[in-house]
Structure 1
Amino acid sequence: MLNKGLRDEQSTRIDNVLKILMSIGFLPKFWNVEDTSLIDNDLKNFGLSVETLVDLNENDLITLLVRCHLDWNQLELFGDFLVKFSIVENYNFSGKAIAIYEYVQQESKTFSFGIISKIASAKANV
């Protein structure tokens, strides 16, 4: 178990990585290797890359993110990133985002209309 100081430091680091991922303004319709390597640099903080995101199933992705100590809000934000990244034509992570949202909704034991809305929106894009 992490002590409070390390937990706060780790949470701040995770928040900063998620802010960088969410700050990506323009997503081109098609990505090349150079474009995905920019996102890979940030995803490596979670032990991920664009290719591993493609290869991992929903349960394995959630397990990996939980092992990286993402809290409920951070998991939800990662799901938001996946939905945003799914705009790119050659990647569709909406199913993985839905699984993350449903996991947060179920495991946090807190009902959120915001998450229900995000699930419905992501299902429309699947």
Structure 2
Amino acid sequence: MTVEGRGSGPGTDVLIRKVDSHLATLRTGLHGPELELAEKLARCLRELVVATAHSSAADRGLVRAAVHYFVLRRESRGKLLPVRSLAAAQRVVNKAVRQLGRPDLLVETPRERPAPEPATTIPARHV
């Protein structure tokens, strides 16, 4: 994804590169619904970064914090660093989305989607 030419500034480019780099790493180890969730989170974060590029410092800081939560690992003293769960990142990203007034960007998982409406029957036509 090319981020240059958007006129968003170097801070925007850095955040988008962090998201893209982390997503590339996740693609090597995730499959199925987990990978789908990671891609949805990355898409949402990219959109938020671009949308808030010229917003208040508070809004940009909120988005930056969400990006860092998605990208950064927890600190650990061992060789293996536990990765934050995608569900935890989803909660943080969705909280930022709500605070920024962008419910159109909420990241849902399949179990959060409303159940399909039961099919209604159409009464038979009497001829």
TM-score higher than 0.5: no
TM range (shorter): 0.3 to 0.5
Question: What TM-score do you get using the length of structure 2 for normalisation?
Answer: 0.35
More helix by share: 1
